[in-house]
Amino acid sequence: DTGVSQNPRHKITKRGQNVTFRCDPISEHNRLYWYRQTLGQGPEFLTYFQNEAQLEKSRLLSDRFSAERPKGSFSTLEIQRTEQGDSAMYLCASSFQVQGYEQYFGPGTRLTVT
Contacts with another protein, residue ranges (CB under 8 A): 4, 6, 31, 33, 35, 40-45, 48, 55-56, 58, 91, 93, 95, 100-108, 110
Please, what is the minimum distance in Å from the beta carbon of residue 58 to another protein?
8
Whether residue 45 contacts residue 105, with contact meaning beta carbons closer than 8 Å, is answered with no
Please, what is the minimum distance in Å from the beta carbon of residue 28 to another protein?
17
Task: Name the nearest CA neighbour of 94 among 5, 9, 20.
Answer: 5
- Identity of the residue, 33 or 82, whose beta carbon is nearer to another protein in the bound complex: 33
Measure the N-to-C terminal CA separation of the chain; round to a whole number of Å: 36
- Identity of the residue, 19 or 91, whose beta carbon is nearer to another protein in the bound complex: 91
Work out whether the CA dihedral 25, 29, 31, 33 comes out positive or negative: negative
Whether residue 14 contacts residue 21, with contact meaning beta carbons closer than 8 Å, is answered with no
Please, what is the minimum distance in Å from the beta carbon of residue 21 to another protein?
13
